[in-house]
């Protein structure tokens, strides 16, 4: 026996909550890793003095990006104008601010990345949930599949009218 549209939406909301919780938990450590990676690539040993600023930026990222993601995932699928990965890509502003403040020079990027992600001067933007944290791969896939199911079920129902 199939589920109805209300239970499908409830399942989607539950998957969205799991995904958002995982993203919020992963953002702080991700910011710290990004800062450490680029700072030490630039000048080995320069990450350590930035650890406190990176941790604070990570906490802000978890709050701000986390809330933006929660808001998006709580929005009805037909009203969503962006996706969760686009929201996550905006998180590069947090490690970027720390690195710019420390005088770390931008990395050389190819023309496509410069056009597609102009604010990602350190080439840190995530391409998948697993880039943020490997444990987010499955929750991201499950949420995406649940969203696709809800959208397709609605379209089928509209076609029956």
Domain spans of the chain?
Answer: 5-160
Model-level pTM? 0.90
Phi, psi of 71 (to 5 degrees): -60, -45
CB 126 within 8 A of CB 85: yes
Q: Give the span between the Cα atoms of 91 and 120, in whole angstroms.
A: 10
User: Over its length of 161 residues, how does the chain's per-residue pLDDT go in tens digits?
Assistant: 346 667 888 899 999 999 999 999 999 999 999 999 999 999 999 999 999 999 999 999 999 999 999 999 999 999 999 999 999 999 999 999 999 999 999 999 999 999 999 999 999 999 999 999 999 999 999 999 999 999 998 888 887 76
Calculate the alpha carbon distances from 75 to 1, 4, 70, 147 in Å. 27, 19, 9, 12
């Amino acid at each position: 026996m199939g589920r109805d549209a209300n239970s499908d939406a409830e399942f989607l909301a539950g998957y969205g909550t799991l995904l958002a919780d995982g993203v919020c938990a992963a953002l702080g450590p991700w910011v710290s890793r990004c800062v450490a990676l680029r700072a030490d690539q630039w000048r080995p040993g320069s990450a350590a003095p930035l650890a406190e600023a990176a941790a604070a930026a990570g906490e802000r990222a978890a709050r701000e990006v986390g809330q933006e993601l929660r808001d998006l995932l709580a929005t009805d699928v037909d009203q969503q104008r962006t996706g969760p990965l686009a929201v996550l890509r905006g998180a590069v502003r947090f490690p970027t601010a720390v690195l710019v403040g420390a005088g770390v020079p931008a990395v050389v990027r190819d023309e496509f990345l410069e056009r597609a992600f102009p604010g990602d001067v350190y080439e840190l933007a995530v391409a998948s949930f697993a880039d943020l944290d490997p444990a987010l791969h499955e929750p991201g896939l499950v949420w995406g599949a649940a969203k696709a199911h809800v959208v397709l079920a609605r379209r089928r129902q509209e076609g029956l009218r």
